[in-house]
Chains A and B, each alone.
Chain A
Amino acid sequence: MDDATLAALIRAAGLEETAREFPDDVREALATVARQRASLPRTSDPTLEPTPGHLAPRR
């Protein structure tokens, strides 16, 4: 990941201060997420509902 992208992601997450104090931890977190995304199942079924389900509030 190039430095500009890295900086943009850190800014979007609001972690500029944390990244200044713990740059390796923040960089590692981004690498972890990138690695994990590859193993996350992605269904092609557009109708599959998530769990927990979203329920209408009861009166």
Chain B
Amino acid sequence: MSAPHQLSLAEASAQIAGRKLSPVELLEDCLARIAALDPKLNAFIRLTEEEARAGAQAAETEIMRSGPRSALHGIPVGIKDIIDLAGHPTTCHSRQRLDHMADRDAAVVALLRAAGAVFPGKLSTHEFAIGGPAFDLPFPPARNPWNPAHHPGGSSSGSGAAVAARMMPAALGTDTGGSVRHPASHCGLVGLKPTYGLVSREGVFPLAFSLDHVGPLTRTVQDSALMLNVMSGGHENYARDLGQGLKGLRIGFVRHFHETDQPADAEVAAALEAAAKLMEAEGATLRTITLPALGEFAAVNRTILQSEAAVVHEEWLKTRPSYYAGVTRRRLLPGLFIPAVDLMHAARDRTKLIAAVEAAFDEVDLLLTASSMDPACRIDDTEAVERTYPRQARTPFNVTGHPAVTVMAGLSSGGLPLSLQLASRSFTEALLLRAAQGYERAAPWKDRAPPLDG
């Protein structure tokens, strides 16, 4: 029998509902795992053990009395430290916010709490979800459980590291240019960016208002659906189509993203081709689709992101710039020099890009693309880390708002996860997750774990 921390969210949930596993036992096992591994992975900024213990105890009592409230009742969920957890600072991994205190939960945390989730702590991030990995901050950067010398992806770095290391079954991340899907890709997880607006951003420190999304990082697609059911307010069951597989689905493979726009590492390209073949073998119909070039999406994303972030950070950039890590300051300052007319050009081109992706969805049900163009680089290789951020195909769906999910699609020769991305029409997450699970089920990667257990 698996140790409780090794269970997926759905497995733990089923055992809790069947009274074979106590939420207290699950939490204690996760806390022991955190104590053992976090000193080398730095996934956590702050542990909230006592509150989590009280939550797990209350969950156990209630479940024994009247059964679970939801699939998340008694499940430990990590919170990225730009999301408010009542009674604790939301530091945003920054010196600027060390004295902050959240007086109430973010809306998405309140939904999780009402569903019975417990919160073992706040997870590390790039500073303000943009500046990192950095070594000149009050907290060290998270590291990749598959190889701690490597970048776990960002900005939801702690969320990726913690879930991949089996410290907890699920965590919240945020995604403005790919920051849920990047750590998911580098850590061998499922990272979901829901449709823009589906999950509330209230109580989440903004990076760029019109690009920000909140999404879950989990080990399986089913777990992602269970998280989204709660995070979106409980109005829809996103697990309803799981198990239907890929048969009959029309998938557009956006090859130019990784073949010509940002040529991918050979192992990434081979993994994508193998995934496409597997999807066909599972009954999907694949065709090549052409979208606007990645560079156009990136230019629009960058101009909007920098402009919106500048509004948020203007005062601190003027009055206490030394409080930022150097990399954060350098990434934020350009926003104060972007002409207003450029922002409007980007906003108008965004309309065209949305129309182009919508037109693709007139021909296919889903888009298949690369996520990262390379396996995770070394975390101390500053130039390689800088190259990571443009060498990806995630920002198109921040610009357009369409839902997108990344899943593991292989292992590099260096033992690091490879990934793919699927996207679908807005508010069709049930279809998106059905397709992702169809691939996950047919591929051999779901149960691969980082080499942390000897």
Picked from B300, B317, B334, B344, the residue with its CB within 8 Å of the CB of A18 is: B317
**Distance of B164 from chain A, by nearest CB (Å):** 33
Which B residues between 291 and 313 are near A, CB-CB below 8 angstroms? Answer: 295-296, 299-300, 302-303
B352: Cβ under 8 A from any A Cβ? yes
> Are B334 and A32 in contact, with the CB atoms below 8 A?
yes
Cross-chain pairs A/B with CB under 8 angstroms, 22 sampled: A9-B337, A14-B318, A15-B333, A18-B333, A21-B321, A25-B333, A30-B334, A30-B337, A33-B334, A37-B342, A40-B300, A40-B345, A41-B296, A41-B299, A41-B346, A41-B352, A42-B345, A43-B348, A43-B352, A48-B352, A50-B347, A51-B210
| Contact of A29 with B330 at beta-carbon distance under 8 Å, contacts A18-B321, A39-B299 already known | yes
B residues bordering A, Cβ < 8 Å? 210, 295-296, 299-300, 302-303, 314, 317-319, 321-322, 326, 329-330, 333-334, 336-338, 342, 344-352, 354
Closest to A28 in B: B330
Report the bound CA distance from A6 to B319 in whole Å.
20
A13: Cβ under 8 A from any B Cβ? yes
> Are A50 and B321 in contact, with the CB atoms below 8 A?
no
> Are B300 and A41 in contact, with the CB atoms below 8 A?
yes
Chain B contacts for A33, CB-based, 8 A: 334, 337-338
Chain A contacts for B210, CB-based, 8 A: 51-52
Chain B contacts for A43, CB-based, 8 A: 345, 348-349, 352
Chain B contacts for A49, CB-based, 8 A: 348, 351
Not counting A32-B334, A49-B348, a sample of 13 additional A-B residue pairs whose C-beta atoms are within 8 angstroms of each other reads: A9-B337, A15-B336, A22-B321, A25-B326, A29-B334, A36-B299, A36-B303, A41-B296, A41-B345, A41-B349, A51-B348, A51-B350, A51-B351
A3: Cβ under 8 A from any B Cβ? no
> Are B345 and A36 in contact, with the CB atoms below 8 A?
no
Picked from A15, A37, A50, the residue with its CB within 8 Å of the CB of B351 is: A50
Chain B contacts for A30, CB-based, 8 A: 334, 337
Picked from B303, B317, B326, B330, the residue with its CB within 8 Å of the CB of A15 is: B317
Count of chain A to chain B residue pairs whose CB atoms are closer than 8 Å in the complex? 84
Q: How large is the interface on A (under 10, 10 to 19, 20 to 34, 35 or more residues)?
A: 20 to 34
Report the bound CA distance from A25 to B354 in whole Å.
34
> Are B350 and A13 in contact, with the CB atoms below 8 A?
no
> Are B354 and A26 in contact, with the CB atoms below 8 A?
no
**Distance of B160 from chain A, by nearest CB (Å):** 27
| Contact of A40 with B329 at beta-carbon distance under 8 Å, contacts A15-B336, A21-B322, A29-B337 already known | no
Give the top 7 A-B pairs by smallest Cβ distance, nearest first: A50-B347, A29-B333, A51-B350, A41-B349, A29-B334, A33-B337, A13-B336
